[in-house]
Structure 1
Amino acid sequence: MNFIYLLGKFLFFIYFKTFNRLTIVGKDNIPVDKGVLLCSNHISNFDPPLVGVATPRKVRFMAKAELFSNPIMKWLMNALGTFPVKRGLNDKQALRNGINILNNGEVLGFFPEGTRSKTGKLGSGLAGAGFFALRSDAVVVPCAIVGSYKPFKKIIIIFGKPVNFKEYSEKMSAKDATAIIMEQISGLLESSERNI
């Protein structure tokens, strides 16, 4: 992790601990020695820094290509290990970048819904998560963000057990793989409602 990433992680940790009483559950479910596709529900623009703070390893994310048009933002995004994706298009370069990150043993943070949920409820997952799960050597770690980012409201982030898609049929479609990932995230959300 470089200085910019570590500084951002430290500052956001202080912020989330102070204003949202951050609680992290299941951090030990994140493997330390292999590629990880970290798939989370998406409720706010604060989700990427929260996932980064809660994960012991450096997490890389895709971000919409428009954010890279400003030179200062481009420098910051690159310093944080973020890479651009052209939304609404079949961006083959972004897909290759994601696969390379995972096959290099790094962590790729991913929001299968593709956009923030306006209701806070888990939406439908897009095929991209399943594509990365099936085309890479990484395991999938489901993640659930529970609570509110409003000041002094509690935020809980829960990491589930890793899922290895190598154990599934080679004929599985990306859509079906995403459905399994979404079931895992949904299960974490339901469990949190019962126990918190």
Structure 2
Amino acid sequence: MTFYDFAKSVCYGVLKPIYRFEVLGTEDFPKEGGVLLCSNHIHNFDPPVVGINAPRPVHFMAKEELFHVPVLGKLVPHLNAFPVKRGMSDREALRKGLSLLKDGHVLGLFPEGTRSKDGELKKGLAGAGFFALRTEAAVVPCAIIGPYKAFKRLKVVYGTPIDMVTLREQKASAEETTEIIMKEISNLIKKHS
């Protein structure tokens, strides 16, 4: 058992009784190949909640500051996370993300870039579109539908992969592609709220 698998089972055992997850859509989650998993971001627990409920291991970009926190900084790399410098174009993080997708892994992103303070879906950043257009990865929208309150049901909905063929053929911009991804996340929130 890897440290990731161990941490996932511990996290699940701790969080499941508190948040009573209702998980939908895992049957449509691609079983192999690169997957760009894009979710809304409403709470600090979103990365573990998305990760422990996904049918495959998820690699996350995490803000670089987390890697400098005592103890946590040593654990984060073993949880399939890699650092990204926020507020600038981080070429190394972009290369790492592309490499993971091309090697058939799942890359988890929160396109809004930061947590939404009021829970409303914000505009997505172009990074999601960049990864979607530069690889052949399946693009899976995900919605976390709260609230994060003890013993209240928390929904995690994995949508069907977004058809990227036309966007890639038309050489759509990263911004346009991110808008489409965000629209799909919004649709999941509306449908399942």
Does the TM-score normalized on the shorter chain lie above 0.5? Answer: yes
- How far the C-alpha of 1:72 sits from its partner, in A, is 3.3
- Distance between the aligned counterparts of 1:113 and 1:68, measured in 2? 21
Alignment of 1:4-43 (within 5 A): 4-43=3-42
Kindly indicate whether residue 169 of structure 2 is the aligned counterpart of residue 155 of structure 1: no
Counterpart residue identity of residue 21, structure 1: R
- Distance between the aligned counterparts of 1:10 and 1:76, measured in 2? 15
Alignment of 1:65-80 (within 5 A): 65-70=64-69, 72-80=71-79
Deviates most, 66-75 or 96-105 = 66-75
Structure 1-normalised TM-score? Answer: 0.93
- How far the C-alpha of 1:71 sits from its partner, in A, is 6.1
Aligned length in residues: 192
**Divergent runs of 4+, >6 A:** none
- Distance between the aligned counterparts of 1:32 and 1:116, measured in 2? 29
Kindly indicate whether residue 130 of structure 2 is the aligned counterpart of residue 131 of structure 1: yes
Q: Which runs of 5+ in 2 are unaligned?
A: none
- Distance between the aligned counterparts of 2:152 and 2:28, measured in 1? 26
Structure 2-normalised TM-score? Answer: 0.95
- Distance between the aligned counterparts of 2:109 and 2:14, measured in 1? 23
Q: Which residue of 1 aligns with 2:114?
A: 115
Q: Which residue of 2 aligns with 1:87?
A: 86
Q: Which residue of 2 aligns with 1:185?
A: 185
Alignment of 1:94-109 (within 5 A): 94-109=93-108
Secondary structure of 2:186's aligned partner: helix
Give RMSD over aligned pairs: 1.3
Identity of aligned residues (%): 50
- How far the C-alpha of 1:77 sits from its partner, in A, is 1.4
Counterpart residue identity of residue 32, structure 2: D
- Distance between the aligned counterparts of 2:63 and 2:89, measured in 1? 13
Secondary structure of 2:38's aligned partner: strand
- Distance between the aligned counterparts of 1:69 and 1:157, measured in 2? 30
Q: Which runs of 5+ in 1 are unaligned?
A: none
List per-residue Cα deviations over 1:125-184 (Å, max 9, x = no partner).
110100000011201000000122221111010011101423323320000000000010
- Distance between the aligned counterparts of 1:75 and 1:3, measured in 2? 16
- Distance between the aligned counterparts of 2:185 and 2:81, measured in 1? 23
- Distance between the aligned counterparts of 1:22 and 1:15, measured in 2? 12
